């Protein structure tokens, strides 16, 4: 009986070790990661609109290690999301229908304070989803970048 208790305790300790490893594992440092590409906002949007499958294969990964990009564009909107994170919307031309939504982190939120609508900036972040148009519902979805920081 003591043998089974020792095996049970060993299994529990092993499971706790695995959980602790994943819980305390360091998060990906997006700003320290070399950018996969530097792209204009409209070009990135057009890649997803013209061939979504190819763009998904190029930029997105199921394991969470999607590509880190530098996106260049004009600030057309700036707001805070429900978590209090700064978000800016970049477009290559202010008349473009879709753009790139860039969500900043707690550490980089202050970078947005001096940014004004109409400024041309470069933002580095990890891509989370591509642009999409639903013509039936007349909805558009911007490209989404997370963990962003201004690099110029």
Domain annotation for the chain: domains and CATH numbers: 30-150 (2.40.50.140)
The burial of 22, by beta-carbon neighbours within 10 Å (0-12 exposed, 13-18 middle, 19 or more buried), is given as exposed
Residue pair 91/77 in contact by the 8 Å Cβ criterion: no
Which pLDDT does position 32 carry in this prediction? 66
pLDDT the model gives residue 30: 64
Residue 47's pLDDT is 92
pLDDT at 22: 73
* 52 neighbors 96 (Cβ within 8 angstroms): no
pTM for the structure as a whole: 0.77
Please give the pLDDT value at position 133. Answer: 78
Mean pLDDT per 10-residue run, the chain (152 residues)? 83 86 69 82 91 88 80 93 91 86 90 90 90 80 90 78
């Amino acid at each position: 009986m003591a043998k089974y208790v020792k095996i049970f305790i060993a299994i529990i300790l092993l499971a706790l070790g695995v959980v602790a490893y994943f819980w305390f594992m360091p998060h990906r440092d997006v700003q320290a990661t070399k950018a996969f590409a530097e792209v204009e906002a409209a070009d990135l949007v057009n890649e997803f609109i013209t061939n979504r499958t190819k763009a998904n294969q190029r930029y997105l990964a199921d394991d969470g290690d999607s590509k880190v990009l530098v996106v260049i564009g004009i600030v057309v909107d700036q707001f805070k999301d429900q978590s209090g994170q700064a978000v800016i919307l970049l477009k290559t031309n202010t008349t473009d229908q879709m753009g790139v939504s860039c969500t900043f982190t707690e550490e980089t939120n202050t970078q947005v304070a001096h940014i004004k609508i109409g400024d041309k900036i470069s933002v580095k972040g990890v891509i989370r989803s591509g642009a999409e148009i639903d013509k039936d519902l007349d909805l558009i979805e911007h490209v989404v970048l997370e963990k962003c920081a201004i690099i110029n």
